[in-house]
Structure 1
């Protein structure tokens, strides 16, 4: 029997009505002779509540917050006909112990940060497994930390070790190793893993996609399905521009670049494992399960410009000689590097991700590290054809004539088919709308796009 890995995001997992869709998709896979392997995120917004809980624990006011979090999960479990009190009590006891320790120590270590945030996925998978079991499906609940082990990367600082680690996926995994039977549906957690010492680590916010990809690779699965609240990958975030067009197909390479550039539908690290083992990926919506979504495999989307991604609150660093040591010191403060080839070793783009500390002042960092450092910019990245770079020249000419005074920097790589434009945030929305309208909405010659988001919504 071959494995089929399905990842369900927080919006899907948190809606009791959508569990009928999840159950139906599991049954479809079983009927097709596949063994389903489900990777679940925490309920929508629970990770944010757990981050807030860390600060409430410091102040010693966490008991009420934990009670409210427990009530939220018990109400949801009841909607699914699950006795949450029995299923979840031990996990909430652990959460209370974690918070009590934070209050006693009066500090939140990266290790404690990971322990607390991991609870969200443990809660959701326990409820989900109980629901499917009640529906007559033979379920095997698994703690993913037994099989996803983070790299022993000694270059990682403590914050990134515990909150944004990566795992080895080369060693195969089978049912016998997991302890499950061939007729069981496996349910496990996204976002979390363990290090070599057994400590809980996280894979970065929204890292459940990567968890699913790791497991697909280790299981040598025949497919990976990522189920979210939008039907596939769109040319731009449809919540920002309703005329965003659905992408029918794209390659692993394009999906990885798009997510690294700021597109939120997939995690940036999710493509490498499935690409290595040539496992096809389909991105679909639990709200519109009949929509085919986006198919990700080997072939590029051939549109001149296929998508635009936005990254906000970007920090731009420049120096006459920007050393790798300086960059690593900044990363250790809680910055993440935007992984784009800027074709200039003396500058880089960072995002501040540390949720336990305020971002240091620009002037303070500039003086300390001897660099020019400016924050709060917006990066607009266009992804297009690698065969014909004329689109890059056309966009350059347009930006020069229309937005020259607002363009701070422009980075291009024709070999990758990518162009990134750094602008002030007060004009980013207008620039983005203009570029999307001219390059994608009005491109009637391209058959690489599906329907617009507005059309899909109106037809549903």
Structure 2
């Protein structure tokens, strides 16, 4: 492992950059780290709500409806923040707003938004938020350099089977320590660098996106490339919890989780963290600290290799409400070599990631998470047609999942019966065990998710837990935020 550098990477999400108060938190975080002798790279999302408005703009172009009102709303949100910051909006983001209008007009002329143009449009939110942020930080005396993330992150070449949408809208990047980038940024005279999340460039210089919610991933990629001391993810909650804190006030903060636990939690429903952001920090052994922008001094979750030495058992119960379930009935293929490979090969051919999978004597069942692999009806039709050579494929477009996540999950299976009792009259479509250490998942009807989720949490996590791992309940923390 190369020597650790003196860089710290801080990521701030949409709600964390949407007001002057939140930018003050960013300025304080920069000052705290630079005073301690570290260099700071700050990665920021678009203002809260702007990505949705940009998508609305794209939908309007595709539907050949009016775009002026949405453009005005986008401009207005940025102008109001600029005014609150004491900045001239035209001076700070006039070029970006003009480019946004030009790209929209060009797309309207052809009546559609190709994936390459979609990426350019969606990138505008991050570019404008960071332009305003850099202007305000400099105005208050913070030594900061603005950098375009497309000059810092280059997408990996897409596979030959990858679609245009995958190339432009769900790119991945290298994240091994990069001596050239370390030298380049370390030679800057400023103490901090401000850049964008969510965006990168391909080998031709075209804008590509890292998938929705990809700012976490951008920050992790850059932490890996800089071989940083730590990565901090700042958001509106202080970390990972034993359940969704917005659904359960008694959900407890997880003080320490391993890299693998964090990735499974993020993939299985803890949307506060993007699952793609874990491999770069895990592979480079960079601790990830989750922090709350509204309460900078509040303790949060620490994700690290050091958390491995914890007691076995369930740490959280998480859920996802919107999954696709595909069941391939292929009884004649039982014990035939290669059947599972044939099925997964079809998904690879279509560039679709399989989420959960279970195999039986007569069928193969699997789920697709649309958040990870967005699909159109046409995509599903083509997929099913190709699966018909293996067996009869049936698609359920709306199922949910409930997952137990922790360490040595197999050790709690014998204790689940009382928690499963409320579901005895319901249908569980599929059970997927990701090995003895990671997760146990149940796939069921969306309306049945809470019937399983809440009893499992009550049965496994409501009793006293080790204080080294389990922190305060959300009700205690939320009181401090109000």
Fold conserved (TM > 0.5)? yes
Which position in structure 1 is the counterpart of 2:336?
none
Alignment partner of 1:337 out of 342, 345, 354:
354
SS in 2 for 1:215: helix
Distance in 1, matches of 2:136 and 2:359, equals: 51
Which position in structure 2 is the counterpart of 1:372?
394
Distance in 1, matches of 2:319 and 2:149, equals: 32
- Note if 1:57 corresponds to 2:61: yes
Pairing 1:400-439 to 2, within 5 Å after superposition: 401-404=421-424, 405-439=426-460
Alignment partner of 1:349 out of 361, 367, 385:
367
Distance in 2, matches of 1:37 and 1:178, equals: 9
Distance in 2, matches of 1:26 and 1:150, equals: 28
Q: Residues 451 and 343 from structure 1, CA distance in 2 versus in 1: closer, same or farther, beyond 3 angstroms? A: farther
Q: Residues 365 and 100 from structure 1, CA distance in 2 versus in 1: closer, same or farther, beyond 3 angstroms? A: same
Distance in 2, matches of 1:276 and 1:143, equals: 25
- Note if 1:202 corresponds to 2:202: no
Q: Residues 78 and 438 from structure 1, CA distance in 2 versus in 1: closer, same or farther, beyond 3 angstroms? A: same
Pairwise CA distance, 1:389: 2.2
Which position in structure 2 is the counterpart of 1:23?
27
Q: What do residues 102-160 of structure 1 show as CA deviations (whole Å, max 9, x unaligned)?
A: 11111221111111100010011001101110110111000010120111022321111
Q: Does the 8 Å contact 2:353/2:372 carry over to 1?
A: no
Counting matched residue pairs gives: 454
Distance in 2, matches of 1:109 and 1:403, equals: 45
Distance in 1, matches of 2:372 and 2:280, equals: 26
Instruction: Tell me the C-alpha RMSD between the 2 structures.
Output: 2.4
SS in 1 for 2:369: strand
Distance in 2, matches of 1:411 and 1:303, equals: 19
Distance in 2, matches of 1:390 and 1:353, equals: 31
SS in 2 for 1:337: coil
Distance in 1, matches of 2:10 and 2:95, equals: 27
- For structure 2, the 5+ residue unaligned runs are 331-338
- Note if 1:304 corresponds to 2:313: yes
Q: Does the 8 Å contact 2:357/2:365 carry over to 1?
A: no
Q: Residues 450 and 326 from structure 1, CA distance in 2 versus in 1: closer, same or farther, beyond 3 angstroms? A: same
Q: Residues 83 and 456 from structure 1, CA distance in 2 versus in 1: closer, same or farther, beyond 3 angstroms? A: same
Q: What do residues 357-378 of structure 1 show as CA deviations (whole Å, max 9, x unaligned)?
A: 8545978864664212212000
Pairwise CA distance, 1:438: 1.6
Q: Residues 438 and 182 from structure 1, CA distance in 2 versus in 1: closer, same or farther, beyond 3 angstroms? A: farther
Q: Does the 8 Å contact 1:336/1:353 carry over to 2?
A: no
Higher mean Cα deviation, 267-276 or 362-371? 362-371
- Note if 1:46 corresponds to 2:64: no
Distance in 2, matches of 1:272 and 1:248, equals: 20
Q: Does the 8 Å contact 2:115/2:168 carry over to 1?
A: yes
Which position in structure 1 is the counterpart of 2:327?
318
Alignment partner of 1:162 out of 157, 168, 187:
168
- For structure 1, the 5+ residue unaligned runs are none
Q: Does the 8 Å contact 1:110/1:159 carry over to 2?
A: yes
SS in 2 for 1:187: strand
SS in 1 for 2:275: coil
Distance in 2, matches of 1:74 and 1:43, equals: 12
Q: Does the 8 Å contact 1:362/1:375 carry over to 2?
A: no
Q: What do residues 377-403 of structure 1 show as CA deviations (whole Å, max 9, x unaligned)?
A: 0011110222x62212322x3465431
Q: What do residues 44-94 of structure 1 show as CA deviations (whole Å, max 9, x unaligned)?
A: 111111000012233252233212211110101111222212111111111
Pairwise CA distance, 1:318: 2.1
Q: Residues 176 and 367 from structure 1, CA distance in 2 versus in 1: closer, same or farther, beyond 3 angstroms? A: closer
Distance in 1, matches of 2:256 and 2:312, equals: 11
Q: Residues 95 and 261 from structure 1, CA distance in 2 versus in 1: closer, same or farther, beyond 3 angstroms? A: same
Which position in structure 2 is the counterpart of 1:86?
91
Which position in structure 1 is the counterpart of 2:147?
142
- Note if 1:240 corresponds to 2:240: no
Pairwise CA distance, 1:454: 0.7
Higher mean Cα deviation, 143-152 or 62-71? 62-71
SS in 1 for 2:82: helix
Q: Residues 414 and 67 from structure 1, CA distance in 2 versus in 1: closer, same or farther, beyond 3 angstroms? A: same
Higher mean Cα deviation, 347-356 or 59-68? 347-356
Pairwise CA distance, 1:356: 9.4
